[in-house]
């Protein structure tokens, strides 16, 4: 009996039936940082002019603009707006949701406070904002670094394929602008935003999640992304903590390990790289993401790679952590990304890397 039940559930595919996103209205150009005083991690001032620092930053990351939430908005507000859009655009009744999974890293942070607020969970707050009364709709948070939203989709897939759920809402939301050190050049990377998808269990479907793979490398690499004091020694008395990154080591780590996890997911799905029509990778650093894709092609014996496979919006949206992939996916699906489309039958790849260090990838067929 158990064997037959497992076989029946194996015919179920987890299918994305709705997408939504919220991109904050506040556009922050690089000129916003011209008045900042930047320091090295040892507390010594950086011996370069700010215009030169900004130019070098843009050349490395490809980021020219980023989006910040309004002062009256919080992470849960952004997540609610993305979820509301997914529900509205699909006509799905929120009361029919079995799970709400919210990926984030810092919870709600009130403008100007630098204090993390995690009680109640963001998922509970968003469920309340959506006015969902159904007690069987389980809402919980998933802190997993930047790959949190992808991992939320993977968790939803298990619920759907097990028969425990028929419909799951997975949200990625972040306000990284409120946890950054203004004296750290890396502060210019981070941005705010939220994206969401609704997945359904569909028996016998050719569409849906074909395979996934996740790895965690904590022993050697957990210290690449941490929390720490400001680089300005004068601010040490504040006792505030800010997101800190070992950029060079993280870059090297990502180039070695992310392509391997992507290949594992493709092999698990029995899908060739040449069958993939789109690669939606976490928008962390433009040049790093391009280098990762190039390494993936090399794993398949190809020296040349097709950069058109990987649409990017980091230049104008910045790095919004868990929100980068779902906001880009929603933009493409809704026809808001120029010259980018996903057609029925297309196989796409979703992949992310971030604090932990964690890496994950999903092979999905539309």
Is the Cβ–Cβ distance between 149 and 323 less than 8 Å? yes
What's the confidence (pLDDT) of residue 43? 87
How large a percentage of the chain has pLDDT more than 70? 96
How does residue 11 score in pLDDT terms, banded at 50, 70 and 90? confident
- Retrieve residue 45's tokens: 């001032």
What is the dihedral angle through the alpha carbons of 351, 354, 359, 365, rounded to the nearest 10 degrees?
Answer: -20
Give domain limits for the chain: 2-205, 209-365
Are the C-beta atoms of residues 248 and 285 closer than 8 Å to each other? Answer: no
Banded pLDDT at 183 (limits 50, 70, 90): very high
- Is the domain 2-205 a CATH 3.40.47.10 member? yes
Per-residue model confidence as pLDDT tens digits over 140-161 = 999 999 999 999 999 999 999 9
Span 235-271, pLDDT tens digits: 555 678 899 999 889 999 999 999 999 999 999 999 9
The pair of three-digit structure tokens given for residue 189, joined into one six-digit string: 């990377």
Q: Buried (b) or exposed (e) across 84-106, using 16+ Cβ within 10 A?
A: bbbbeeeebebeebbbbbbbbbb
Q: Report the topology of domain 209-365.
A: Peroxisomal Thiolase; Chain A, domain 1 (3.40.47)
- Six-digit token pair at 69? 């939430």
Mean pLDDT of 168-195: 95
CA distances from 60 to 83, 161, 272, 315, 354 (A): 33, 41, 31, 11, 18
Measured distance CA(158)–CA(177) in Å, rounded: 33
* pLDDT, averaged across the chain: 92
User: What is the C-alpha to C-alpha distance for residues 81 and 254, in angstroms, rounded to an integer?
Assistant: 31
pLDDT band at 301 (very low <50, low <70, confident <90, very high): confident
Rounded CA gap, 228 and 243, in Å?
A: 6
Do 2-205 and 209-365 have matching folds? yes
Confidence tier at 302 by pLDDT (50, 70, 90): confident
pLDDT tens digit sequence for 305-323: 888 899 999 999 999 999 9
CA–CA gap between residue 12 and residue 200 (Å, rounded) = 10
């Amino acid at each position: 009996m158990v064997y037959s039940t497992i076989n029946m559930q194996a015919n179920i595919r987890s299918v994305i039936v709705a997408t939504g996103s919220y991109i904050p209205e506040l556009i922050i150009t690089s000129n916003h940082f011209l008045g900042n005083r930047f320091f090295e991690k040892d507390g010594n001032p950086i011996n370069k002019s700010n215009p030169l620092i900004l130019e070098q930053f843009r050349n490395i990351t490809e980021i020219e603009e980023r989006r910040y939430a309004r002062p009256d908005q919080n992470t849960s507000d952004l997540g609610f707006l993305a979820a509301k859009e997914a529900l509205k655009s699909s006509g799905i009744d929120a009361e029919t949701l079995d799970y709400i999974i919210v990926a984030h890293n810092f919870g709600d942070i009130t403008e100007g406070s630098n204090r993390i607020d995690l009680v109640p969970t963001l998922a509970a707050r968003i469920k309340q904002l959506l006015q969902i009364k159904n007690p069987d709709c389980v809402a919980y948070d998933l802190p997993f670094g930047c790959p949190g939203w992808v991992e939320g989709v993977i968790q939803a897939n298990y619920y759907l394929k097990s028969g425990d759920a028929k419909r799951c809402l997975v949200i990625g939301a972040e306000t990284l602008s409120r946890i950054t050190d203004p004296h750290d050049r890396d502060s210019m990377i981070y941005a705010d935003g939220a994206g969401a998808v609704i997945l359904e269990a569909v028996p016998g479907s050719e569409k849906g999640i074909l395979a996934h793979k996740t790895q965690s490398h904590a022993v050697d690499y957990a210290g690449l992304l941490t929390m720490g004091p400001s680089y300005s020694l004068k601010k040490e008395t504040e006792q505030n903590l800010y997101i800190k990154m070992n950029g060079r080591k993280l870059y090297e780590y990502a180039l070695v390990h992310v392509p391997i996890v992507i290949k594992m997911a493709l092999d698990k799905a029995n899908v060739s790289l040449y069958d993939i029509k789109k690669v939606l990778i976490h928008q962390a650093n433009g040049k790093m993401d391009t280098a990762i894709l190039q390494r993936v092609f090399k794993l398949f014996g190809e020296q040349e790679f097709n950069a058109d496979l990987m649409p990017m919006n980091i230049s104008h949206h910045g790095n919004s952590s868990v929100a980068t992939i779902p906001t880009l996916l929603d933009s493409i699906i809704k026809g808001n990304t120029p010259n980018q489309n996903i057609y029925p039958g297309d196989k796409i790849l979703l992949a992310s890397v971030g604090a932990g260090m964690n890496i994950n990838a999903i092979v999905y067929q539309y």
